[in-house]
Amino acid sequence: MGKRTFYFVRHGKTEWNLARRMQGWGDSPLIEEGINGAIATGEALKDVDFTAVYSSPSKRTVDTTGYIIGDRDIDIRTLDGLREMSFGIWEGELFVDITENFGDEYAMMLDNPEYYKAEVSKGETYHQVKERTKMAVEQILEEQPEGNILVVSHGMALRVLIFVALQEAELQTHRTETPHILNTSVTVVEYENGEFRVVKANDTSHLEGIVEGV
């Protein structure tokens, strides 16, 4: 087994991102800004020879992946483990309404990741996201013995995966001590000799002139 280099990318901005709606397993289309961001990401990565490309099965991530790889002759493989965190009954709801109607549990989700149980939302816990995203990467490592690997996923899923699961770090402080993953940002992680190393985190230098948000 040789060195693997992961290029983790968050999907482009969507209608629900723009409207400030909760978006996990629910989905909404890319807006023009999101499409342009994905195209710019593809341009920035045009010289990277990808041996494999993986995406969450959500349409916003598959579409983003398509814009990134452009006319390259390479298949997009989808893995359920790369999905965004599920927010249950909060899916598609405005953040302001969730705060008003489910303030205590929403605050727990934001401020106490280690202890968030998703009892009201009926979504996922951070622990569940950590385990399934880590399993997805382990599957990729088994399938790809070496090379550059593009992985397109989601903000919270990538944050937990890269800065908690792969670094064997604590969940409780990851939201305050790690970068918020921006739309169509690139995070490069190398895997060699059984260890992961973050080379570049949340890079948006290729998005100059394209306003990307949360």
- Annotated binding residues: 10-17, 60
Cβ atoms within 10 Å, residue 8: 27
Q: Is 177 among the residues known to form the active site?
A: no
- Among residues 84, 91, 93, 105, the one annotated as catalytic is 84
- Among residues 11, 91, 105, 124, the one annotated as catalytic is 11
**Residues 14, 60 contacting (CB under 8 angstroms):** yes
Cβ atoms within 10 Å, residue 170: 11
- What are the binding residues for substrate? 10-17, 60
Q: Which residues contact 6 (CB under 8 A, 6 or more apart)?
A: 137, 140, 149, 151, 188, 189, 190, 191
Cα separation, 96 vs 84, whole angstroms: 20
Q: Is 84 among the residues known to form the active site?
A: yes
- Show which residues are catalytic: 11, 84
